[in-house]
Each structure stands twice: as C-alpha cells, then as structure tokens.
Amino acid sequence: MSEPKRLHPISAVVNFLKQLKELIIPFFVFVVFGSKNGSFQFIMSIVVIIIILILGIISWLRFTYRLEEGELRIEYGVFIRKKRYIPFERIQSLDLSEGILQRPFGLVKVKVETAGSSKGEAEAVLTAITKEEANFIQHTLFSAKNKIDEQSTELFEKSSQEEDILYKITPRELLLLASTSGGAGVVFSAFFAFVFQFEEIIPYERLFRGLEDIISSGVILVSILVFIGFLFAWVVALIGTMIKYAEFTVKKLGEDLIITRGLLEKRQLTIPLHRIQAIRITENVIRQPLGFGTVYLESAGGSAIDQDSARVMLLPIIKKDRVAEILSPYLKQYVFEANMNRAPGRALKRYLLRGILFSLPAAAIPIIFFRPWGYFGLMFVLISMVWAVLRFKDTGWSIADLQLTLRYRTVNKTTVYMNRNRIQSLRIQESYFQRRKELGTISAVVMSGTGGTGGTVVDLDKMDIQEIYKWYSYTK
C-alpha cells in the first residue's frame, strides 16, 4: 500500500502546452480574421492563455497515483473526479521516455500499455515522475507478475546488473540508416500540406506567375532549384532521423527486451518475450543491394493506431547475414537461415501480366496528350516489367519444424518468420486463372496490436500450398 502521489510540477507546464497546441489553429484564425479592434484581440488572447495555464495547474493538482492491492490506481479530473484502477496482471509493458521538458529535471514520462488499450492511446500516462519512482514501479510490477515478494525485487535488481546488450547502433550505421530512410519525401509532403492550409493568406497566383517567369528563363536554373530543394529536404530528413535513432540500444533483461533510443527525447520501450508474435525483415530498394535490412517485432497488445506498441523496430539497420548471429541466442524458437522454396517458373507470366496491366494506363495518358515527349511514358511499362521479375524472384516460402517463413515483395522485400502456435489463421485462395496453371495464393495472419498482420505470397505451386496447409493443420 502507498500514499497517493502527485506528478512533478513540470506536468502543469506539459498540460498547458498540450492544451495550447490543440487550440493553436482556432487561436491563429481568431487573431488573423477576428475583430479589427487589435486591442480586443490582444486582451482576449491573454485571457485565453491565462485560463489554459490555470486549467493546467488544476489538472496537475487533481491528478494522483498510487500502487495498492496489486493495482495502479489513478484519480484525475478538473470538474468531474474520475478513478482508474489497472491490475498489474493486465499491464503488458511500460514505455519510458525523456522529453525536452523532463530531461533537465531528471524525470521520465511513463506510458502504461495493456492488452485493452484503445483509441491509439495508452491505458495511463504518468507525465513526469522521477527515474527512481519509475524503477520502483517496474520492480513492483515485476514482483507481482512473478508472485514473489522481496526475493523477486532482489532478483530483478541483480539481473539488471547482468543485462545482455544485443545491439548498439554505431555512428556509421546511424549515418547509413538516415541516408537510406527515404525521409525526403515525407519532408516535402509535410511542407506542402502545411503551406496549402493558408491559401487564403498567401498570394499563390502571384507566386506561380513569378515561377513561370523563372521557368522560361532556362531549364538549367530550374534543375538547379529542384536539386537544391531535394538536397535541403534530404538534409532535414537526415538530421531528424539521426536525432530520433541516436544511441539506439537493445538489451535483454530477464524475460524482456528493452529498447532505448533518442537524442533530444530519450525513449525506452519494454517488450516481454512472450508477446512476440512474429519477426519481420524488410529491405528497401536502396539497402537491399548493400545487403542491409531492418528487423521488426510483431507484438501482441497495444492498439491499431499506436503502431509503436504493435510493430516494434528491433534492429534499425543491420547486415542480413548478422541477423541470425545477433538474435538466435535470445530468440531460440526462430530459424533465421531457412532454405527458401521459390514460386514455379510458370508463375512468371502472371507476374509480368499484372505489371503490364498496371502500367499501361499510366503510359497511355502521356502518349495520347503529350506527344511526342509522351512516348517516354513507355518507360513505365519497362520499369513495371523489371519490377515484376524482381517480385517473382523474391517470392518464396519455407517450413522449418514449427516455423513458417514467407517472403514477398510489394515496394520493399519482406521476410516474415512465424511460429505455428502464433498463427491465427491460414487462408488459401485460387482464382479461375490460377487453377488453370495449378497455382494459388496463401496468407498467414498473426496477432499484432488489436488486429492482425502476417504475409501473403501469390502464385505458389498448388502442391506447395497443400504442403503448408497440411503442416499447419497437423496435430499430434
């Protein structure tokens, strides 16, 4: 039993900034399009900010938590007092992070994840508590789950000194991760999505007329400007990725994997080994030729919106031939060096046909409306055919004792390792045209978050699919 405790006073500032962030767009509209009386707008703005600050302080004063009778008990609410009791056995993991506001005071933010978390939010959030208090909560939770009292706590503290480090990112790997992340497109999308929110304020027509003048002045100048724009976006994405994944470390502590990362915001995520449903390795088109990939854990619990608690990045960038060396000693139920069976040669025509049918409309439009330059649209067809061959070559499957491995390619090459007792469903499909070629499609689904994930391999040999189905349905 423990007395109710309050969060650190910095939580009042966090609450204030959170409320201010949610009101920033209405506040901006009020300032720009409100009354012409500037003094009235200024006074009202100050009043609103003061009210939000007072509500943040009251929220902090009204929020208390305690550990009592095998539960985390939280009481909160400004006008209506609410109580939330979370039994220890329902808590799946504690996600610790150190934000810009928490770090100077030696505090952490704790997100409590349970199997019933919904709406993309954690079951409970302790915005700012000391690291000692967070460790105490972890020890108490560990003790309760193992049903041992003081002896368990001593065991936990002893094991924490004997933690195994599976992986720690090197500066070279961090630079390679940031350089090949493809984040430039995200930066461009976010920039244009933000800018076009203010089309009533910014004179886009005048800007575009000026842009036409620039274009007419020469193709070389336009090419230089485009290059500079992409270079800037790439540098921003590079810096952002390096800050986010700096000091990425994976440790094994007892029966948990603990992942820490981040430079400005230090984050710690705990994944119990028993929650792991599958292992996924993805290789994008830049990393694959270099022999690098990214390893993810598909985890039960969490929510459909909060993917951090469902699909967890375990190894952000790693040589493929090192995956087995790093993970096999700790995930012994998985075989990472499986011999893959490929799709039959007669399936190649179907892959090529799908690629051509997909690319023909994209090629036809420029040919019809922008001749003669539109004939370059035929490059879409050629690229799609090459991509279809790659998809065919990357398709495969393997069975190793109790493990099913599926490999396929959409944009990235993906390999999924699933144990039979984790597979929720196995589905077989045969279209009319597949049946004529004695081919079929197989899909395996494991639990991930509140939904499911897995892999789908198209146009496998019918005999291979029957073998997989027989393996899945067999019971001693």
Report the percent of the chain where pLDDT is more than 70.
Answer: 77
pTM: 0.72
For residues 153 and 173, what is the distance between their CA atoms, to the nearest angstrom? 37
Query: Is the confidence at residue 414, as pLDDT, over 70?
Result: yes
For residue 461, the model assigns a pLDDT of 94
The arithmetic mean of pLDDT across residues 389-405, rounded, is: 93
pLDDT score at 78: 81
- Of 189-203, 341-355, 409-423, the poorest mean pLDDT is in 189-203
Structure tokens at 300: 């039960």
DSSP 12-62: HHHHHHHHHHHTHHHHHHHHHHS-S-HHHHHHHHHHHHHHHHHHHHHHHHH
* Contacts by residues 252-256 (CB-CB < 8 Å, ≥ 24 positions apart): 252/163, 252/164, 252/166, 252/330, 253/159, 253/160, 253/163, 253/164, 254/142, 254/156, 254/159, 256/93
State the average pLDDT over residues 350-371.
Answer: 84
pLDDT digits (tens, 9 = 90+) for 239-296: 888 888 999 999 988 788 889 998 887 888 888 888 889 999 999 988 999 999 999 9
Helix (H) or strand (E) holding 364: helix 348-369
Token digits for 188? 């461009």
- Quick one: the chain helix, strand, coil %, rounded to 5? 50, 30, 20
pLDDT of residue 117: 55
Question: 157 or 436: whose pLDDT is higher?
Answer: 436
Q: Minimum mean pLDDT among 39-48, 80-89, 128-137, 465-474: which range?
A: 39-48
Integer Rg of the chain from CA: 27
Provide the pLDDT confidence category of residue 194 given band limits of 50, 70 and 90: very low
- Across the range 452-459, mean pLDDT stands at 89
Calculate mean pLDDT across residues 142-148. 61
Above 60 in pLDDT, residue 217? Answer: no
Residue 255's pLDDT is 80
Q: What pLDDT is attached to residue 213?
A: 55
> Mean pLDDT across the stretch 196-214?
48
Residues 6+ apart with CB under 8 A from 76: 59, 62, 63, 64, 82, 84
Range of 42-46, 86-90, 310-314, 406-410 with top mean pLDDT: 406-410
pLDDT of residue 234: 76
Amino acid letter, 99: G
Q: What is the pLDDT of residue 124?
A: 84
DSSP string, 255-308: TEEEEEE-SSSEEEEEEEGGGEEEEEEEE-TTTGGGTEEEEEEEEBSS-SS-GG
Is 102 a residue whose pLDDT tops 80?
Answer: yes
Supply 158's token pair. 């002893």
Task: Choose from 41-45, 144-148, 231-235 the range with maximum mean pLDDT.
Answer: 231-235
How many CA atoms within 13 Å lie on the side-chain side of 56? 21
- The position carrying tokens 């897995």 is 454
Question: Please, which pLDDT band fits residue 200 given cuts at 50, 70 and 90?
Answer: very low
Best mean pLDDT range from 113-117, 126-130, 361-365:
126-130
Instruction: Specify the higher pLDDT residue, 265 or 219.
Output: 265
- Residue 173 to residue 97: CA distance in whole angstroms: 23
CA distances from 458 to 55, 125, 398, 433, 443 (A): 56, 43, 14, 13, 9
What digits encode the pLDDT tens for the residues 30-82?
A: 655 555 555 766 677 788 788 888 888 888 888 999 888 888 889 888 888 88
- Describe the strand order of the beta sheet including 91-98 as a list of residue ranges: 124-130, 107-114, 91-98, 266-272, 256-261, 249-253, 164-168
Please name which of 464, 197, 310, 2 lies closest in space to residue 472, comparing C-alpha atoms: 464
For position 4, what pLDDT does the model report? Answer: 85
Q: What's phi and psi for 147, nearest 5 deg?
A: 60, 35
How confident is the model at residue 198, as a pLDDT?
43
Residue type (1 letter), 166: L
Select the highest-mean-pLDDT range: 226-240, 271-285, 306-320.
271-285
**How many other β-carbons are positioned within 10 Å of the β-carbon of residue 202?**
12
**Does the pLDDT value for residue 457 go beyond 60?**
yes
Residue 149: is its pLDDT beyond 60? no
Cα 70 to its chain centre, rounded Å, is: 32
Confidence of residue 25 (pLDDT cuts 50, 70, 90): low
More confident residue, 191 or 349: 349
Residue 128 CA to residue 131 CA, distance in Å, equals: 9
pLDDT one-digit tens code per residue, 170-183: 999 998 898 887 65
Q: What is the mean pLDDT of residues 335-358?
A: 90
Task: Considering only residues 100 and 244, tell me which one the structure prediction assigns the higher pLDDT.
Answer: 244
Residue 254: is it exposed, middle or buried by C-beta count within 10 angstroms (0-12/13-18/19+)?
middle
Cα–Cα dist 318/322, whole Å: 7
More confident position, 18 or 188: 18
Task: Provide the terminal-to-terminal Cα distance of the chain, rounded to the nearest Å.
Answer: 48
